[in-house]
Amino acid sequence: MKMEIFDNRTISIFLNETELSSRGYRHDDHEASLALINHWIDEALLFAESTHDFPAIDMPCRTEVAFVPSQGMYITITLTDHPEEKDEIAPASLLDNSTAFFAFRDFEDITRFAAKIRMELRKNGKLYVFQNDYLLLLQESEFSLTANYEDACSIASEYGEKITDYTAEVVDTYGKVIFEKHAIYEISRLFPCD
């Protein structure tokens, strides 16, 4: 586990995929994975307290966790001045039901998806290239009805794979944007399928 301590306020932790595996981290066991992450956070705080006079005892902190495939897990622990912030911690590695990423191996799969989706649903989506895949981000807020969002996700899952390991923040940082908005429409317009 690689750890850096900044200005007695922030700890940055990185575990590569090999170390995650050797420490028992599994993507398919969410509950056990959260317990492991909490253990690593406690381990880092204890180490920082004992070696760097890090004032973590009884101090509220904000924790951010991001998993980047082919790299590993990044954990950031930041001490906060306001006790109420302690309850606002949200794991960054989880997407809620109103946001979905779909990975497509081949661009042809995206063009077939865009051709199949109804015309009124096409003016949505953001498309990236990330980790050798095309990633389509669908957000419920872009659709007029929840049912339309669910239809688009259902069709996308026929041609691509729904991904739950990424966050928009990680993909925005490390991915390359192809279409910032209206991705489905632009793909169907530029690459029509019969």
What pLDDT does residue 91 have? Answer: 43
- With a cut of 70, say whether residue 83 has pLDDT above it: no
Last residue of a domain, one of 88, 116, 149: 88
Last residue of a domain, one of 88, 113, 133: 88
Q: What's the domain count of the chain? A: 2
Q: How far apart are CA 31 and CA 93, in angstroms?
A: 13
**Per-residue model confidence as pLDDT tens digits over 113-134:** 999 998 888 888 999 998 888 9
Averaged pLDDT for residues 38-64: 76
Averaged pLDDT for residues 142-162: 90
Task: Please give the residue range of the domain that contains residue 75.
Answer: 2-88
Q: 77 and 121 in one domain?
A: no
Host H or E run for residue 12:
strand 10-16
Q: How far apart are CA 135 and CA 167, in angstroms?
A: 11
What pLDDT does residue 114 have? Answer: 92
Reported as a pLDDT band with limits 50, 70 and 90, residue 97 is low
Q: 116 and 55 in one domain?
A: no
Tokens read off for 10: 């922030």
Reported as a pLDDT band with limits 50, 70 and 90, residue 159 is very high
As a whole number, the mean pLDDT across the chain is 81
- With a cut of 50, say whether residue 92 has pLDDT above it: no
Query: How would you label 53-77 residue by residue, b for 16+ Cβ within 10 Å and e otherwise?
Result: ebebeeebbbbbbbbbbeebbbbbb
What pLDDT does residue 44 have? Answer: 81
> What is the reported pTM?
0.52
Q: 104 and 29 in one domain?
A: no
Is position 146 within any domain? Answer: yes
Query: In CATH, what number is assigned to the domain containing residue 152?
Result: 3.30.70.1950
Percent of the chain surpassing pLDDT 90: 23
Last residue of a domain, one of 58, 88, 118: 88
